[in-house]
């Protein structure tokens, strides 16, 4: 943003004169006073001694505004990209994350100047995977989408994996990409490389909808339509391509007057058919050993509270697959600790938004011959209540193996829950105490879970590398009086969050990555931390594997730059450990080289200095900590720094797996 | 791991020869056991001190399994654990690993760790 050279300023004739006029004719003291942005051209208090210059007459102004026929028009007051910003502003989008790219240069300039960089505020990311991952994590906490802008071709390619994660996780986001426009307008070289006939093709298999609007009116309609579609259950990312020519072309008053931005109407959610709900209620009430399995279900506290109500009505255990925070971990009906056994004994299973129904009912063994067996009873009745079948595409296989339920209710489970509760209440009638004995069994079983978790947690208590349970215990000790919230899944950290901490509120855990694309943890955490910052008063925590972190360490810079505080604990096992185990498995299977599984999977020699890396990005960096006795103090310092408004990274050298 | 142990014992009584089932654990070399535990991949799924990890492998430190069951798990894993045949980890090496696991100091009693039991979970 250097100052204009006098040559450029001299050519900016229209802006130059405006500046002079607004400044009250302070004299033609040179091009440095030229102002093309009216917002910056606030009249400075005129020096008292100076004589007032006469204002230009109407005829003079008209003559200046009309372009002299012999000179090329090199500036314009309003462009298509300004209108695109108007469209986005009607959608109440708070943030737009982006790594810069010239294909959307007009749009970027319009957002920051014409749109005054508010609603949405432009956030600087250092990789497109960070931009979309941020949008992913943000939506899960804020309960509404944010936007990300991707450079034509190369930017969308960078973003692809993050989009896939959000698609698999059924999370809404509003994505824009761009293309340089018609062939005869393109500059040779890079503009061709970054132009594309069908920019969405790269990601079409895993966005919910996309469009390349060829007019501004169409841009308005597609963006509003896209927003509504992104949010409709099951939600997902949508992608709009903003054509370069449409962005950069002048928008005349006449053309603008013809444009209409449609209003946004969000569709109501699909609710289960009453006859099917009645049938489901009958099956559940009649069952001796019903089990509720729950996966990508709750999108708000309401969903959690409703599920508690249903489970209590039936005194049925809940087995949580944890794609969302679905049920309070301290409720006696939260029976994950014996989930496998319960599903195995169940005579009726209600599966709420299962991501993988087959996997809930069967087990596949990872030996040379991939044998599988049903782990649930063959005659157990299975009811699914899910939007699974409403969004399915052919190519990517996130839909999992086909598994037929006995009663498949295609509907949004959270929206349907109050009606299912009603149906169950009706079916129970005045027999309210009929499940008391079952409830008592659940309470008794629950009592043993904590003791078991504590006994397991004591194993390797003083070990170095530090055990998962020890790390979570030290962390708890420092944040127990804060309004903490986890922003990362727990499958790589030994499930300790759910085993040792009382996770009661929906925002305290935002579930899994969706597509298991490595790199989700830091980027989603950044977006989630932004949403927590906006809500205020919370202490956002991310437990990030070292391999995961290395996909996007620059999140620490974006967090420092935009003042997004959060605590990142690097669960440093100095490897892509999942792959260490896979290679070991292959070596064993092939009866050779069982000592070399670490080649190509370990991240050692040299060890990475994560604290130093964080510091270089402007965040607070602490560690590495390998002695469990030093961990409490390190976390105490980290928490204090987060509360002071900083992003903080603590490098904890930990056991390979929780 | 209770359920697993019971299954394993049942499998053993079916599969293992009577002679093998009656064998006492061969004497093991703790140092060599430690070396192999760390070089042959056991630590990856069972923790660097055999302390176990929720999702990847049960605790092995101070194992209460009889040696035959321990050995059998390596040769014919009950479920997902990768197999270790005698060609790559001999019976003697398994005995060494077994001895090393038996020699490890016991983990503290959870009741003596208020930091652990003082978390919200009751």
Look at A328 and A24; give whichever has higher pLDDT: A328
Q: Among all residues of chain B, which has the CA nearest to that of A476?
A: B119
Spell out which residues of chain A touch residue B51, defining contact as CB-CB under 8 Å.
459-460, 463, 467, 655
Residue B74 has a pLDDT of: 98
Retrieve residue A567's tokens. Answer: 């605590």
Check A588 against B61: CB less than 8 A apart.
no
What does each C-alpha distance from A397 to A173, A201, A323, A355 come to in angstroms? 21, 17, 18, 12
Residue A70 lies in a domain: no
Spell out which residues of chain B touch residue A365, defining contact as CB-CB under 8 Å.
79-80
Check B55 against A456: CB less than 8 A apart.
no
- The rounded distance, in Å, linking the Cα atoms of A65 and A252 is 13
Q: Among all residues of chain A, which has the CA nearest to that of B43?
A: A656
The closest alpha carbon to A543, from A614, A488, A472, belongs to A488
- The rounded distance, in Å, linking the Cα atoms of A130 and A327 is 30
- Per-residue pLDDT, averaged over A453-469, amounts to 94
- Per-residue pLDDT, averaged over A501-528, amounts to 97
Residue B115: exposed, middle, or buried by beta-carbon count in 10 A (0-12, 13-18, 19+)? middle
Residues A281 and A352 in one domain: yes
Architecture of domain B23-106: Orthogonal Bundle (1.10)
Residues A101 and A172 in one domain: yes
Residues A176 and A280 in one domain: no
> Could you tell me the residue range of the domain that residue A166 belongs to?
80-258
B100: left (phi over 0), alpha (psi -120 to 50) or beta: alpha
Q: Percentage of chain A with pLDDT > 90?
A: 85
pLDDT at A429 exceeding the cut of 50: yes
Residues A369 and A473 in one domain: no
Q: Chains A, B: CB contacts under 8 A, how many?
A: 147
Q: Which residues, numbered 89 to 118 in chain B, qualify as contacts with chain A under a Cβ-Cβ cut-off of 8 Å?
A: 89, 107-110, 113, 115-118
Crossing angle of helices A520-535 and A128-142, rounded to 10°: 50
**Strands, E assignment, A461-509:** 484-486
Helix (H, G, I), strand (E, B) or coil at A442: helix
- The rounded distance, in Å, linking the Cα atoms of A220 and A224 is 6
Q: Which of A368, A451, A459 to mutate to test the interface with B (most CBs of B within 10 A)?
A: A459
Check A588 against B43: CB less than 8 A apart.
no
User: pLDDT-based confidence at A54, cuts 50/70/90?
Assistant: low
Q: Among all residues of chain A, which has the CA nearest to that of B48?
A: A655
Crossing angle of helices A413-428 and A274-286, rounded to 10°: 60
Cis peptide bond N-terminal to B33, omega within 30: no
Residue entry with tokens 């919230």: A485
pLDDT at A152 exceeding the cut of 80: yes
Question: Any idea where the domains of chain B sit in the sequence?
Answer: 23-106
pLDDT tens, position by position, A160-190: 999 999 999 999 999 999 998 889 999 999 9
Cis peptide bond N-terminal to A465, omega within 30: yes
Residue A321 lies in a domain: yes
Q: Percentage of chain A with pLDDT > 70?
A: 90
Which of A388, A413, A445 delimits the end of a domain?
A445
Residue A7 has a pLDDT of: 37
Residue A63 has a pLDDT of: 55
pLDDT at B8 exceeding the cut of 50: no
Residues A471 and A424 in one domain: no
pLDDT tens, position by position, A192-214: 999 999 999 999 999 999 999 99
Nearest CB neighbour to B119, from listed A459, A476, A594: A476
Nearest CB neighbour to B55, from listed A494, A584, A585: A494
Residues A395 and A337 in one domain: yes
- The rounded distance, in Å, linking the Cα atoms of A276 and A416 is 11
Check A577 against B49: CB less than 8 A apart.
no
- The rounded distance, in Å, linking the Cα atoms of A656 and A579 is 12
pLDDT tens, position by position, B9-65: 434 444 444 444 445 678 999 999 999 999 999 999 999 999 998 889 999 999 999
Residues A486 and A561 in one domain: yes
User: pLDDT-based confidence at A264, cuts 50/70/90?
Assistant: very high
Nearest CB neighbour to B54, from listed A591, A594, A658: A658
Which of A258, A284, A312 delimits the end of a domain?
A258
The tally of domains found in chain A comes to: 3
pLDDT at A270 exceeding the cut of 70: yes
The answer to whether B122 contacts chain A (CB < 8 Å) is yes
Reported ipTM exceeds the 0.90 cut: no
pLDDT tens, position by position, A564-585: 999 999 999 999 999 999 999 9
Residues A295 and A177 in one domain: no
Residue A22 has a pLDDT of: 32
pLDDT at A26 exceeding the cut of 90: no
Q: Which of B44, B55, B74 to mutate to test the interface with A (most CBs of A within 10 A)?
A: B44
pLDDT tens, position by position, A358-399: 999 999 999 999 999 999 999 999 999 999 999 999 999 999
pLDDT tens, position by position, A615-655: 999 999 999 999 999 999 999 999 999 999 999 999 999 99
DSSP letter, residue B53: B
Q: Which residues, numbered 16 to 75 in chain B, qualify as contacts with chain A under a Cβ-Cβ cut-off of 8 Å?
A: 39-41, 43-45, 47-49, 51-56, 59, 61
DSSP H/E element including A244: helix A244-248
pLDDT tens, position by position, A55-88: 666 666 555 555 667 788 899 999 999 999 999 9
The answer to whether B2 contacts chain A (CB < 8 Å) is no
What does each C-alpha distance from A162 to A235, A529, A596 come to in angstroms? 15, 17, 32
Residue A7 lies in a domain: no
Q: What is the CATH number of the domain that holds A155?
A: 3.40.50.970
Check B51 against A459: CB less than 8 A apart.
yes
Residue A6 lies in a domain: no
Q: Which of B45, B47, B77, B85 to mutate to test the interface with A (most CBs of A within 10 A)?
A: B47
Phi (first) and psi of residue A130, to 5 degrees: -70, -40
Tell me the shortest Cα–Cα distance from A364 to chain B, in angstroms. Answer: 9
Residues A297 and A209 in one domain: no
Residue A1 lies in a domain: no
pLDDT at A39 exceeding the cut of 70: no
Nearest CB neighbour to B56, from listed A455, A581, A592: A581
- Average model confidence (pLDDT) for chain A? 90
Q: What is the CATH number of the domain that holds A384?
A: 3.40.50.1220
Residues A512 and A415 in one domain: no
């Amino acid at each position: 943003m250097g100052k204009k050279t006098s040559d450029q300023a001299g050519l900016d004739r229209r802006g130059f004169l405006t500046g002079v006029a607004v400044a009250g004719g302070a004299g033609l003291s040179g091009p440095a006073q030229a102002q093309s942005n009216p917002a910056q051209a606030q009249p400075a208090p005129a020096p008292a001694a100076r004589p007032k210059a006469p204002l230009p007459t109407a005829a003079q102004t008209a003559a200046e505004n009309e372009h002299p026929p012999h000179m090329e028009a090199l500036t314009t007051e309003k462009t298509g990209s300004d209108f695109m910003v108007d469209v986005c502003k009607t959608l109440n989008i708070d943030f737009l994350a982006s790594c810069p790219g010239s294909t959307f240069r007009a749009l970027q300039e319009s957002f920051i100047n014409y749109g005054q960089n508010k609603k949405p505020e432009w956030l600087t990311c250092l990789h497109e995977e960070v931009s979309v991952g941020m949008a992913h994590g943000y939506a899960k906490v804020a309960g509404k989408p944010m936007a990300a802008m991707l450079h034509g071709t190369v930017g969308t390619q960078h973003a692809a994996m993050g989009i896939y994660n959000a698609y698999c996780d059924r999370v809404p986001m509003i994505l824009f990409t761009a293309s340089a426009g018609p062939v005869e307008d393109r500059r040779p070289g890079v503009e061709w490389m970054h132009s594309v006939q069908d920019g969405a093709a790269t990601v079409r298999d895993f966005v919910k909808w996309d469009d390349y609007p060829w007019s501004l009116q169409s841009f308005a309609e597609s963006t509003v339509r896209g927003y509504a579609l992104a949010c409709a259950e099951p939600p997902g990312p949508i992608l709009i391509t903003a054509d370069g020519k449409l962005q950069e072309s002048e928008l005349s008053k006449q053309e603008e007057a013809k444009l209409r931005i449609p209003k946004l109407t969000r569709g109501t959610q699909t609710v289960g058919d009453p006859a099917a709900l009645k049938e489901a209620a009958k099956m559940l009430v009649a069952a001796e050993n019903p089990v509720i399995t729950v996966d990508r279900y709750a999108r708000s506290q309401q969903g959690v509270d409703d599920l508690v109500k249903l489970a209590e009505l039936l005194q049925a255990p809940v087995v949580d697959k944890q794609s969302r925070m679905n049920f309070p971990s301290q409720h006696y009906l939260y029976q994950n600790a014996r989930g496998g056994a319960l599903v195995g004994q169940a005579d009726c299973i209600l599966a709420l938004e299962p991501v993988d129904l087959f996997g809930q009912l069967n087990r596949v063994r990872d030996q040379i011959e991939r044998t599988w067996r049903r782990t649930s009873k063959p005659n157990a009745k299975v009811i699914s209540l899910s939007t699974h079948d409403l969004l399915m595409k052919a190519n990517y296989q996130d839909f999992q193996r086909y598994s037929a339920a006995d009663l498949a209710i295609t509907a949004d489970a959270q929206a349907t829950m109050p009606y299912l509760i009603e149906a169950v209440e009706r079916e129970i009638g005045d027999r309210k105490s009929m499940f008391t004995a079952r409830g008592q069994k659940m309470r008794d079983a629950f009592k043993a879970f904590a003791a078991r978790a504590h006994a397991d947690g004591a194993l390797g208590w003083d070990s170095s590398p530090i055990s998962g349970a020890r790390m979570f215990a030290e962390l708890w000790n420092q944040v127990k009086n804060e309004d903490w919230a986890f922003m990362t899944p727990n499958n790589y950290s030994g499930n300790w969050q759910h085993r040792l901490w009382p996770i009661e509120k929906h925002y305290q855990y935002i579930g899994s990555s969706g597509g298991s694309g490595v790199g989700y943890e830091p980027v989603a955490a950044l977006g989630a931390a932004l949403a927590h910052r906006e809500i205020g008063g919370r202490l956002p925590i991310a437990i990030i594997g070292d391999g995961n972190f290395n996909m996007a360490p620059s999140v620490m810079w974006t967090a420092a730059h935009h003042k997004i505080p959060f605590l990142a604990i690097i669960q440093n096992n100095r490897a892509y450990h999942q792959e260490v185990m896979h290679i070991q498995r292959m070596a064993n299977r092939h009866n050779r080289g069982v000592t070399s599984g670490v080649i190509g999977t370990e991240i050692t020699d040299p060890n990475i200095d994560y604290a130093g890396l964080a510091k270089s990005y402007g965040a607070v960096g602490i560690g590495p900590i390998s002695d469990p006795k030093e961990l409490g103090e390190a976390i105490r310092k980290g928490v204090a720094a987060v509360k002071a408004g900083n992003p903080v990274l603590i490098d904890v050298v930990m056991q390979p797996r929780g | 791991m209770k359920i697993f142990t019971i299954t394993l014992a049942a499998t053993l009584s079916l599969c293992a020869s009577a002679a093998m089932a009656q064998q006492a654990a061969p004497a093991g070399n703790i140092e060599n056991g430690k070396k192999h535990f760390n070089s042959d991949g056991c630590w990856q799924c069972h923790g660097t001190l055999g302390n176990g990890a929720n999702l990847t492998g049960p605790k092995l430190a101070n194992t209460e399994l009889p040696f035959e069951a321990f050995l059998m798990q390596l040769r014919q894993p009950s479920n997902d654990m990768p197999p270790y045949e005698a060609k790559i980890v001999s019976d003697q090496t398994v005995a060494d690993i077994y001895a090393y696991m038996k020699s490890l100091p016991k983990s503290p009693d959870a009741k003596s760790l208020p930091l652990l039991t003082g978390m919200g979970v009751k």
